[in-house]
Structure 1
């Protein structure tokens, strides 16, 4: 069992109220207890997993800072990384590798004696594991002082707003904030609540409404037309964005109300004109994590390879990024596809730049955005499909769009092929267009300032419209956030 979005809001109100009532010296205790309760609401025993890695990394950080010998420092770092990756490997990847060993053994006529582990994946394991690893790596590099306060370090790993789905914070950004006195600031409360409201709107109104369409298509692709599969793929792209960025907005907003500043995790990714730009705007905390701790070290280590160092670094980074998302070949394919796209863009960047210079800017931008969204939606078929077989079937059906649409036009009978009332489909499209319209405004203006400069009646009118939209258009079906499973 896990908090849904509405329960999270009530939990946040209770914790925040108590936070400002308590003296500063007791606030870390409140936040740590609240974070433990929040995590244990899923499966209480799994708090021991977090406790194990927290103890290991806390002492590893102190040892790393106090040890002058580089060889010993590296051993301490390796010890910490092995502990974190080991926990991740057991709970997230053990059965995946065991299943593949079983398949290979059966093909060769042998039996795999290793039993299957009947364990649940702890929520957000990949997120807090990567956040813990960034701490010891930064201490090892000398960019962060080791945290001596065990409770504050525990809170860094377990801070409930971003515990289960990020953003994946760096110690330089967050640790010092838990030591600082956070005072009640009206501006923080207003901007934080406004961000939470927008996040809730994206989650329960847009994402969960789009989920009705995508669940129909992806749960039974063999009984849907090519047009339906294409619509399902595109709508899933917007669903996962609204679901994940909606959670990030709620996390950033709830932290901001208490005075804490978390890093931006999304920056209008569907406004990207290339896949490379998309990954700079999407899940920024993870993209920068891989860039700093995997891609850059690979490129530096292989700098004698020249261009091939970049190519190799991109492929390895996105292979691991795909595998980070889930223990399954479909996630590996998803990661490799994006890696290949970035390699292509890197190798052809000069030729593409010359080509686009020959086109009017609006046309070049439109082509870039269309191709980017199309490719991302295509790659996410592997991410969302039940298995690789279903994903390949759906991909194989996509060319059928070019025959089905002309047939619909000639017969004057257009159908999405999805068993959903036309008005509900139109509402889904309208919601996507509304959100992207807001994003277009954000690209030209500071939307927050635009709202703040309006008269009180206009501002509150906007807030009431969003609240009413959540109440009347929201899908309150206890549908969990997609990234909680990672």
Structure 2
């Protein structure tokens, strides 16, 4: 089940909200847990058992780590073993086929492994579980003795299958006590509609443009088509994932939870480091706090800092998928950020707005590796972006895509900049504030109506981050 579906919007969500607000607080977590399992089972019924087993195992590990409070060496061994088990489960389902292919390629063997389907959201709920265990080990939080509360933390449907990655210490208190208000609920509805609109009205049509271009042979691709395709994908992946995060945050608010922001207008960044402080914030901070800093972070000799950067970014790329293109994408950012640490960021800061243009260009090149099916196609696509190879620079395909979709590009570019928050912060007198409230109501109503019309008439509705 996806948030951007008629079933979720008109059946699942109203039902869970009705039951949730009809019962006393002591039953609210149970309602959310039951519906979260139903939500996951709707698309992955056979893997619900895997997730439940993972929860029970980590519940036991958390208590075990806490009980060994005065035996530091034992605590380290327990945590290490727990991490190996969690990463082992993730590795088997996500990377086993890739590993066999690599072994066959390197050693010229013919090993065969039955194709292993990837459980939706396994990367996210594995990182949620690891966050819990590490927080308990670091004594930031007590081990959760209530299995159902821990289960809700890991399975809560708004962030279960595509994030954001919620830290246990960020919601531990909210699992036991939450404050409900009509203002918070209204903010949740608004945020959900905005995220839904990003996904349906921008990401989906831009995704169709990107698919059209990336399905073309690179030998026939004009420079204009290549740039239109990667621009469409650059905007699509932002509105797809930030839209999902907006919906998750909005749904959380409806149920009394407050989740941290996951995106902060990354395409206005003036450096690659700043871009990653604004993009997928929950993943970046997870790797920073649980991998980069424990390795020594930047408080080590320079070569070790670069080593730490490359480890983190290789893992970031590999986390996104079992493919050489994802690994190349991760290493690409590792190199760029290492260069910035070596002085490139200071140099670029002196040439504004050129630094902003350079960052956008580098990010778009990176997205080619992220979108392409293989490394060869990615390199050929980048070549087409900068060299026509005898083809027309701007051919009929490019003209058609641009003429049919220029409005989507225009709106998407505008919305990717922080114009909307600035409008919301404008101060008015009492009369104008009432007008503003009326306009806001009509705005969200029209957005929602437009989304529903699109959903009824369209079958193209994938979520990019479900594959991770």
Q: What TM-score does the superposition give when structure 1 sets the normalisation length?
A: 0.89
Compute the RMSD of aligned alpha carbons. Answer: 2.4
Is 1:213 matched up with 2:209? yes
Q: Is the 8 A contact 1:4 1:480 kept in 2?
A: no
Q: Is the 8 A contact 2:317 2:327 kept in 1?
A: yes
Q: Which of 317, 320, 331 pairs up with 2:315?
A: 320
Is 1:432 matched up with 2:412? yes
CA shift, 1:351, in A, is 4.8
Q: Is the 8 A contact 2:2 2:8 kept in 1?
A: no
Q: Find the counterpart in structure 2 of residue 464 from structure 1.
A: 445
CA shift, 1:471, in A, is 4.2
Q: Is the 8 A contact 2:65 2:75 kept in 1?
A: yes
Q: Find the counterpart in structure 1 of residue 48 from structure 2.
A: 47
Q: Find the counterpart in structure 1 of residue 9 from structure 2.
A: 9
Q: Find the counterpart in structure 2 of residue 411 from structure 1.
A: none
Q: Find the counterpart in structure 2 of residue 375 from structure 1.
A: 362
Q: Is the 8 A contact 1:217 1:229 kept in 2?
A: yes
Q: Find the counterpart in structure 1 of residue 236 from structure 2.
A: 239
Q: Is the 8 A contact 1:12 1:254 kept in 2?
A: no
CA shift, 1:456, in A, is 3.5
CA shift, 1:453, in A, is 6.4
* 1:111-135 C-alpha deviation (Å, 9 max, x unpaired): 344x313221000110110110010
Q: Find the counterpart in structure 2 of residue 75 from structure 1.
A: 77
Q: Is the 8 A contact 2:314 2:331 kept in 1?
A: yes
Q: Which of 122, 127, 142 pairs up with 1:125?
A: 122
CA shift, 1:196, in A, is 0.6
1:298 aligns to what SS in structure 2? Answer: coil
Q: Which of 97, 100, 105 pairs up with 2:107?
A: 105
CA shift, 1:299, in A, is 2.2
CA shift, 1:254, in A, is 0.8
* 1:435-471 C-alpha deviation (Å, 9 max, x unpaired): 135x2353x5654988976434322222233234424
CA 1:449–1:386: 2 relative to 1, 3 Å: farther
Comparing 270-279 with 391-400, greater Cα deviation is found at 391-400
Q: Find the counterpart in structure 1 of residue 331 from structure 2.
A: 336
Q: Aligned partners of 2:434 and 2:157: how far apart in 1?
A: 33
2:296 aligns to what SS in structure 1? Answer: helix
Q: Find the counterpart in structure 2 of residue 136 from structure 1.
A: 133
Is 1:345 matched up with 2:340? yes
CA shift, 1:27, in A, is 1.1
Q: Is the 8 A contact 1:168 1:286 kept in 2?
A: yes
Q: Which of 439, 458, 461 pairs up with 1:479?
A: 461
Comparing 85-94 with 369-378, greater Cα deviation is found at 369-378
Q: Is the 8 A contact 1:323 1:335 kept in 2?
A: yes
Q: Is the 8 A contact 1:334 1:383 kept in 2?
A: yes
Q: Is the 8 A contact 1:138 1:144 kept in 2?
A: yes
Unaligned runs of 5+ in 2: none
CA shift, 1:38, in A, is 0.7
CA shift, 1:45, in A, is 1.3
Comparing 60-69 with 423-432, greater Cα deviation is found at 423-432
Q: Aligned partners of 2:331 and 2:277: how far apart in 1?
A: 17
Q: Aligned partners of 1:476 and 1:186: how far apart in 2?
A: 33
Instruction: Give the total of aligned pairs.
Output: 461
Q: Which of 143, 153, 158 pairs up with 2:155?
A: 158
Is 1:385 matched up with 2:385? no
Q: Is the 8 A contact 1:219 1:386 kept in 2?
A: no
Q: What TM-score does the superposition give when structure 2 sets the normalisation length?
A: 0.92
Q: Aligned partners of 2:345 and 2:214: how far apart in 1?
A: 38
